[in-house]
Amino acid sequence: MMIHISPPHQHGGDSIRATMLSVMIALLPATLCAVWLFGWLAVWQIMTCMGVCMLGEWVALRMMARPSRLSDGSAALTGLLLALTLPALVPWWMTVCGSLFAIILGKQLYGGLGYNPFNPALSARVILLISFPLAMTSWLLPAATMPAAVDLYDVTTTLTLFFGGVESLGLTLDGMTAATPLGYIKTDAMQGIAVAASLQAHDYSYFNAFVGNEGGSLGETSALALLIGGILMLARGTIRWHIPVTYIATVAVLAAIFHAVDADRFAPPLFHVLAGGLLLCAFFMATDPVSSPMTVQGHIVFGIGCGLLTWVIRTWGGYPEGAMFAVLLMNCTVPLIDQYCRPRVYGHR
């Protein structure tokens, strides 16, 4: 019997692996920055996440008797992304649980690559946040501002920290952690302290926020590194500009309007853009192809929705940071967006 194969007989050469690799390369600056800020601890977190994710994927596919997909790098990327959203200090078993959540609950249960409605890394991160709120909001001080007793660039210290927790070094959390800017302006606001005063009290500087020298998750603090990665992906055509640009712009515009109305209660736009996980989410999470809309119009709607929700949650929500919730919530709306944001077909009215 003849096997029928349809044209085209020329392929552009793109592949899933190339796509994933290109995202990972784009994450390299943020990863290096995490290592610079949090030393070996970052390395352990990242390695654990990636390793467990890949292992989980392998086992899950094995159990379902499906061909292995490890070589396409999607599990490794999920691991890396998850690691970058974790606080440096989460204990190893939480990291492992999170990675397994990401791969098994977030991805394989839905049918594997291409079928997950939510970004696996983000959904795992949110499960962790809800399950272990304290650990997930204890932000380790970056190495530069760390008390001398703890050397994050020392292998054994970090290993003890990673596996044994803070107590094993005979320290308390208080001495080593600090709130994130979003966190302290929120708590201060509840005590009626104006934004500017709160920022001043915590020695906030835009420069530190830009290079990342402040508390936060491993990979989300440095706006500079994330921007480099984002621009890299845009230049290589891995992602399209619509989601990140509309996302960030929506947050900035909203912040600007409200800041202009009441500067004491609402933080300035630049603060919002540099703070928290916004840039990480805008460039790497919201643009995840599987869980974002298909068409350009869909992307714009999606980006605006993410921006809106992020700012609303940050301003009025219970958590200081809303970017991840916003992206996950918008993930739910993707089928709807896809349904309605279809471009006008050539020749049709």
Partner 1 sequence: MKLLDVWHKLRGASGFDGGVVLDMHKQTAASPIVDCPLPSVLIHPLKQHIGASCKSLVHVGDTVLRGQKIGKSQGYISAPVHAGTSGRVVRIEEHTVPHPSGLGMPCIFIEADGEDRAVAVGPKLHHWSMEEPAVLRERVRLAGITGLGGAGFPTYVKLLKDQRSPIHTVIINGIECEPWLTHDHRMLCEQSDTMVQGLMLLLHMVGAKRGVIAIEDNKPDAIAAMQEAIEAWYAASEHQKALKLSVQALPTRYPQGSEKQLIQAITGHEVPAGKLPMHIGVLCQNVGSTYAIYQAVTHGHALTERVITVSGDALPKPANMRVRLGTPMRFVFAQCGLEVFDDIQIIHGGPMMGERLKNAEAPVVKATTGLLAMQRDVLLAEHQVEEPCIRCGHCSDVCPVRLVPNLMADFSRQGDFEKAEEYQLFDCIECGCCSNVCPSHIPLVHYFRYGKGQLAQIRKEKSFAEASRQRSEQRAGRMEQEKSEKAARRSRVRAQAKPAVTEDKDA
Partner 2 sequence: MESIIYAVLALGGLALLAGITLAIATRVFHVEGNPIADQVDALLPQTQCGQCGYPGCRPYADAVAGDEAEVNHCVPGGERTMLAIAELMGVEPKEVEEEATQPMVAFVREDECIGCTLCIKACPVDAIIGAPKHYHTVIADHCTGCNLCLEPCPVDCIDMLIKPELLEHWSWPLPNTQRAQQGRERRSQHEAA
Q: Based on CB atoms, which residue is closest to partner 2, 89 or 113? A: 113
Interacting span for partner 1 (CB under 8 A) from 15-23, 52-60, 89-97, 256-264: 15-23
| Contact flag: residue 343 with partner 1 (CB under 8 A) | yes
Residue 224 site contact among partner 1, partner 2, none (CB < 5 to 8 Å, cut-off depends on kind): none
Count of residues near partner 2 by CB under 8 A:
4
| Contact flag: residue 62 with partner 1 (CB under 8 A) | no
Give the angle 69-45-78 at the CA atoms, nearest 5°. 30
Pair of tokens at residue 211: 């290079």
The least distance separating partner 2 from the CB of residue 4, rounded to whole angstroms, comes to 6
What DSSP character marks residue 45? H
Contact call for residues 266 and 325 (beta carbons, < 8 A): no
Q: Judging by beta carbons within 10 Å of its beta carbon (0-12, 13-18, 19+), is residue 67 exposed, middle or buried? A: exposed
Applying CB under 8 A, which of residues 32, 294, 312, 329 lies at the interface with partner 1? 294
Residue 191 site contact among partner 2, partner 1, none (CB < 5 to 8 Å, cut-off depends on kind): none
Residues 123-182 that bind partner 2 (CB under 8 A): none
Residues 87-116 that bind partner 1 (CB under 8 A): 112-115
Alpha helices in the chain (DSSP H): 16-63, 74-85, 92-100, 120-131, 133-136, 155-164, 173-176, 181-190, 195-201, 206-211, 223-236, 242-261, 269-274, 278-280, 296-316, 323-340
Interacting span for partner 2 (CB under 8 A) from 4-12, 131-139, 198-206, 272-280: 4-12
3-state SS, one letter per residue, for 53-115: HHHHHHHHHHHCCCCCCHHHCHHHHHHHHHHHHCCCCCCHHHHHHHHHHHHHHCCHHHCCCCC
Residue 160 site contact among partner 2, partner 1, none (CB < 5 to 8 Å, cut-off depends on kind): none
| Contact flag: residue 3 with partner 2 (CB under 8 A) | yes
Residues 198-227 that bind partner 2 (CB under 8 A): none
Contact call for residues 125 and 327 (beta carbons, < 8 A): no
| Contact flag: residue 5 with partner 2 (CB under 8 A) | yes
Q: Which single residue is written with the structure tokens 């990673």?
A: 162
Residue 87 site contact among partner 1, partner 2, none (CB < 5 to 8 Å, cut-off depends on kind): none
Amino acid letter, residue 323:
A
Pair of tokens at residue 321: 């940071």
Residues 6-25 that bind partner 2 (CB under 8 A): 6
**Per-residue x/- mask for partner 2, residues 253 to 272, rule CB under 8 A?**
--------------------
Three-state DSSP at 345 gives coil
| Contact flag: residue 16 with partner 1 (CB under 8 A) | yes
Give the angle 270-249-224 at the CA atoms, nearest 5°. 50
The least distance separating partner 2 from the CB of residue 67, rounded to whole angstroms, comes to 8
- Residues forming the site for partner 1 (CB under 8 A): 2, 4-12, 14-16, 18-19, 69, 72, 74, 112-115, 240, 289-296, 299, 338, 342-349
Q: Which residues bind partner 2 (CB under 8 A)?
A: 3-6
